[in-house]
Amino acid sequence: MARSNHSYKLAPRRAYTVAASLAVLLVLGLFPRTANAGFGMTIDYGNVAGFEDLFPGAHTWGWTFSTNNAISVTDLGVYSGGDDGDGLFRTHIMGIFNSSGTLLGSTTIGITPNGPGAINMFRYAALGAPIILAPGETYTIAATFPGSPPEQIFFADPAPQAGLSIDPAINYIGWVERNFATTLQFPNQGPFGPEEGYRFSTNMQFTVIPAPGAPALIAVVGLAGGSRRRRV
């Protein structure tokens, strides 16, 4: 028997059902949703007024910030020089603390040679597990600087700085430090706000966590699915 050569189109009712099903899958997370990835701060080195300096003595350097969105921090970085080619002379321990001074997670970056590997003047190491930061809270990112031989950090002039941008998911509050700290400890000096300049010492890579919206969408899909009934 000859096979009929018909073309078929998806009926409106069926297309409607498929669209509703895809929406449910999106809400349930079976299809991935795109999130925004970013860095805590981005520096246009040629447009930031300031200077690099080698700071002797054991210190913990960092900065305090608040969150506008929930974020998942995946990597922490330490400043490695303005030409993106400088290495690191010493091992650095980097971490994030909450406002109470509790260490939420940390990672270590070892001695690195000069050459490629820096991203926008920072060298990064991945965390063993992401650190989830809640919106509307205050946190501090910091790293150890053993001091011998000394590592360079960037001292920038007070705000505003055209060459410095802070990711909109966070708010920069000010730089912090702890003197004579040979281990990673919560900084006890600062924060010193932008009016007192910046200290570029540490940075982070993170992903913005999408705000939950599943209940409302599921409710809409449920109502849509119940609005049509098949006739028999």
Q: What is the pTM of this model?
A: 0.73
pLDDT average, residue stretch 63-80 = 94
If one compares 1 and 87, the residue with the highest pLDDT of the two is 87
Residues paired with 192 in a beta bridge: 175
For every residue of the chain, which 3-state class applies, written as one string?
CCCCCCCCCCCHHHHHHHHHHHHHHHHHCCCCCCCCEEECEEECHHHCCEEEEECCCCEEEEEEEEECCCEEEEEEEEECCCCCCCCECCCEEEEEEECCCCEEEEEEECCECCCCCCECCEEEEEEEEEEEECCCCEEEEEEEECCCCCCEEEEECCCCCCCEEECCCEEEEEEEEEECCCCCCCCCEEEECHHHCEEECEEEEEEECCCCCHHHHHHHHHHHHCCCCCCC
- Which of 41-45, 155-159, 167-171, 199-203 ranks highest by mean pLDDT? 167-171
Q: Which domains does the chain have, with CATH numbers?
A: 12-33+213-225 (no CATH), 37-208 (2.60.120.820)
Average pLDDT rounded to a whole number, residues 213-218:
42
Burial of 181 (0-12, 13-18, 19+ CB in 10 A): buried
Query: What per-residue confidence (pLDDT) applies to 220?
Result: 34
162 contacts 38 by C-beta, under 8 angstroms: no
Minimum mean pLDDT among 23-37, 78-92, 134-148, 153-167: which range?
23-37
Identify the pLDDT of residue 90.
79
pLDDT single digits (tens) 195-204: 888 887 899 9
Residue 224 has what pLDDT? 35
**Between residues 216 and 142, the one the model is more confident about:** 142
Average pLDDT, the chain: 74
The predicted structure's pLDDT at residue 34: 37
Q: In which band, very low, low, confident or very high, does the pLDDT at 133 lie, cut at 50, 70 and 90?
A: very high
